[in-house]
Each structure stands twice: as structure tokens, then as C-alpha cells.
Amino acid sequence: MGRAFVYVILGGGVASGYAALEFARRGGYSRGELCIISEEAVAPYERPALSKGYLLPEGAARLPGFHTCVGANDELLTTKWYKEQGIELVLGTKVISADVRRKTLLTGTGETISYKTLIIATGARALKLQEFGIQGSDASNICYLRNIDDADKLVSAMKSCPGGNAVVIGGGYIGMEYAAALVTNKIRVTMVFPEKHCMGRLFTPQIAEFYENYYTSKGVTFVKGTVLTFFEKDTTGKVTAVILKDGRHLPADMVVVGIGIRANTSLFEGQLMMSMENGGIKVNGQLQTSDNSVYAVGDVAAFPIKLFDGDIRRLEHVDSARRTARHAVASILEPSKTRDIDYLPFFYSRVFTLSWQFYGDNVGEVVHFGDFTSSSPRFGAYWVNKGRIAGAFLEGGSREEYEAISIAVRRKAMVINMGELEKQGLALAIQE
């Protein structure tokens, strides 16, 4: 048995929802020609809501409230919307193999779905502790967070231990967001990670110190420079303690793990060109893979960044998923009018009452600016590479200020004197 479509979007996450909206806006298909296949049981939604609104103790976000594309202040695409637009949603369906030469996908239910053009939007999966040789990660009170089922498990784990102890494994942005959500739910948190400071891939020691102090003031304990070795469990198989390499023993009513992600490329390995360094499917500036009927977008795609002189990057951020998805649809429907993507990497996070944004690349020398100590902090950093601004970070900025730093990065503003840059701080971007 099988169905045939002109366009198939494989994956039902952020990129998929934005691609669907772009198809609908451009009107480049007829009813029944476009379908989305997703392992998830619901229409595409704004994944970042899972670690923010979804985990709030009161007034928590729930579907249909955060389907795409509300995260970009755009239309809310409910199941009804897809129906009205004549876009077929094939939900709760995993694709188990792909044949790029034959242009077919085989689903777990045994159906063969064929396409003329395929957009791969399979995103990424959370890395599991088992992959690092830690046994017992299947306990009911060990949580990850990538989809609604994970989020529901996390919510019920929090509810089962009011006032209890949680151990967060991993000090990246997901770990930081978990910790904030757990504290808001009145659970005591210890964060464990091997690096010297949190958000090691982006934060400078000075920026990290600010957030760690802030978290400490909210009751979070940091255990840095070590890793877990095993879990202690009770007779029902629940974790009761986390044992660290340095010998420490942390009591735990629940464990939340955020140790990174891997792009979901496996269906296409050996069929499409991969970017080994980035761990994703390699695409050109039109988001087209090595097969010209197949495009890849979002977390799974490694694409050239013009601003970084065409350097190939795979970005794990929502803004990149939205923009690459829209760009791919434009490339498919209007190839002659669509130039290569010119994307400015952008990443943000919101925790407690804090909120930061980062643009560009964190390479080169760093200059900090602003007030790190006030009760309403407003500070940041520039990364200066070869005499030009390569990246900028800002905490507590206004919309205009965030825009100003993004423009300074986009223009690669020239820096003559680092001391002067430090003195000027945000003013440099605003003058630009």
C-alpha cells in the first residue's frame, strides 16, 4: 500500500510548521499534494515552550496554545488549519527507511510514501546516559526533554516530589532552563557538570559567574568539574541518589538530564552527503542536499553561513529552524528568484526574570560591558575577531538594544581600540 505526494515534509517539529506556513502563503501546491509525516501525535509546535511555559506550576502552556507559528508572533497552525489548507498530516508515524533514488519513504506501519520533492526536518534527539555507559537511565524518575511525552513525564515527576531534591545533569542552556523550572516548582536543585562553569560553549567565565550567582541566590547548588558514575535505586527501580566520580553522594527524588543532542540523520546516511564535522546533512545556500530533489532544514541541516565566509554550521536553535524552513520552501517554489540564504546566527534563553540574546559567533577576544551587579542587570559582551565585531551577547536589553547588537554583528563593525569598546559598550551598537 502507498500514497504519492508532490511535496513531503519529513518531521513534525518547528521547521516543519514554518515550512507549511510558507507553502500556504506562497500557494505553491494543490490540495492533497503536500504532506507532513511526524512521529509525534500532534501537529507541529514551538519546541522551546517545553522547557519554559509548559513546566510552570500555574498557568502552564498547553496545546493547542503553542503550535507553530506563534513563537514568531505569526498564525497559530492547529490541526484544523492544516485541513483547511489541504495539507495532509500523517501523525504518530515514524519513517523507518528512506530510498532517495526511488524517492520513497517507508513508515513503521508498512506504508510506502513517495514524493517528488522531500524536505528533511527530522531535527535532533536528546543524548542518553546509556550512550556514555551509564546504566539504569530508564528509571521512571530520570527525565529528558525533547517532546511532549518527555515534558509530561517531567511534570509528573515534579508533582510526585513536592519540596524534594532534583539533580540536573548538564550545564548547557537546557540544564539551566531545567534548573529554573524546577526551582519555580519549589524543588531543590543540584546541577552537576564537568566544565569549570555553566554554558561553557557560549558564556565567558565572567558571564557564567553572574548566572551561577543568580541561580545560587535562588537556592541552586552547583557541583562543577565532575560527572556522575552511577545511580543508587530503591526496590521499585527509582533513583534515590546520584553517585559522582569525585565520590560525592547526592540524594535525588528525580534526575533531569541535558547532555546534548544528535541530529537525526540516520535514514539518509550513505545516501546524502553529510557534514562530518557538524554531524548533519550537508546542504547548499538553497538548503538543497547532494540530491537535488531533497532539502534539509532545522537542527538536522548543516548549511553555509555567508557572514562567516561560507563556513558550514549546524545550528540547534529555533530561529535557524524557522528561517531555513521558509528559505527551503522559497527555493523549491521559486528557485530562480531565491538567493542563497544569508543567515545571522541567533540564540536566546529566558530563565526566571532573566533574558538574554546572542548573535554571531563567539570567536576572538572578548570585551565585557554594562552592569553585572544591579538588581535589574543589563550587561553583555562583544567578541572581536580580526578587528571586527564577530559576536555579541546581551542580558536584559530592550527590543531596540537587541536589534542594535544584531546590526553591529551583521555589519561586522570595525573595532580600533578595545579599551574604547569596553567604555562605549552598548552605545557602540546603538550609534552604528
Cα–Cα distance measured from residue 59 to residue 355, given in angstroms and rounded to the nearest whole number = 20
Cα–Cα distance measured from residue 264 to residue 166, given in angstroms and rounded to the nearest whole number = 29
Query: Could you tell me the three cell numbers for 172?
Result: 548547557
Query: Could you say whether residue 391 binds ligand FAD (CB under 6 A)?
Result: no
E-strand stretches of 82-218 = 87-90, 95-99, 104-107, 112-114, 117-120, 124-126, 142-143, 165-169, 188-193
Query: Could you tell me the three cell numbers for 349?
Result: 534563553
Nearer to ligand FAD, 295 or 347 (CB): 347
Query: Could you say whether residue 299 binds ligand FAD (CB under 6 A)?
Result: yes
Cα–Cα distance measured from residue 403 to residue 398, given in angstroms and rounded to the nearest whole number = 9
Query: Could you say whether residue 321 binds ligand FAD (CB under 6 A)?
Result: yes
Query: Could you say whether residue 14 binds ligand FAD (CB under 6 A)?
Result: yes
Segment near ligand FAD (CB under 6 A); pick from 31-39, 161-169, 220-228, 285-293: 31-39
Q: How far is CA 237 from the centre of its chain?
A: 31
Nearer to ligand FAD, 230 or 308 (CB): 308
Q: Which of 165, 265, 275, 349 binds ligand FAD (CB under 6 A)?
A: 349
User: Which residues, 124 to 153, sit near ligand FAD by CB under 6 A?
Assistant: 124, 145-146
Query: Could you say whether residue 264 binds ligand FAD (CB under 6 A)?
Result: yes
Q: Which of 7, 8, 9, 13 binds ligand FAD (CB under 6 A)?
A: 13
Query: Could you say whether residue 347 binds ligand FAD (CB under 6 A)?
Result: yes
Can you tell me which residue has the cell 548566572? 211
Q: Cα 315–206–423 angle (5° rounding)?
A: 100
Cα–Cα distance measured from residue 237 to residue 195, given in angstroms and rounded to the nearest whole number = 30
Query: Could you say whether residue 40 binds ligand FAD (CB under 6 A)?
Result: yes
Output the smallest distance, CB 195 to ligand FAD, in A: 20
Length of the chain: 432
Segment near ligand FAD (CB under 6 A); pick from 284-292, 326-334, 342-350, 385-393: 342-350
User: Which residues, 81 to 110, sit near ligand FAD by CB under 6 A?
Assistant: 94-95
Q: Which of 87, 121, 351, 409 binds ligand FAD (CB under 6 A)?
A: 121
Pick the closest to residue 27 from 329, 327, 285, 336 (CA basis): 329
Output the smallest distance, CB 184 to ligand FAD, in A: 15
Cα–Cα distance measured from residue 316 to residue 331, given in angstroms and rounded to the nearest whole number = 22
Q: Which residues contact 43 (CB under 8 A, 6 or more apart)?
A: 12, 17, 67, 77, 78, 79, 82, 89, 91
Nearer to ligand FAD, 122 or 369 (CB): 122
User: Which residues, 213 to 242, sit near ligand FAD by CB under 6 A?
Assistant: none
Query: Could you say whether residue 317 binds ligand FAD (CB under 6 A)?
Result: yes
Residues that bind ligand FAD (CB under 6 A): 11-16, 37-40, 47-48, 50-51, 94-95, 121-124, 145-146, 174, 264, 267, 298-300, 316-319, 321, 347-349
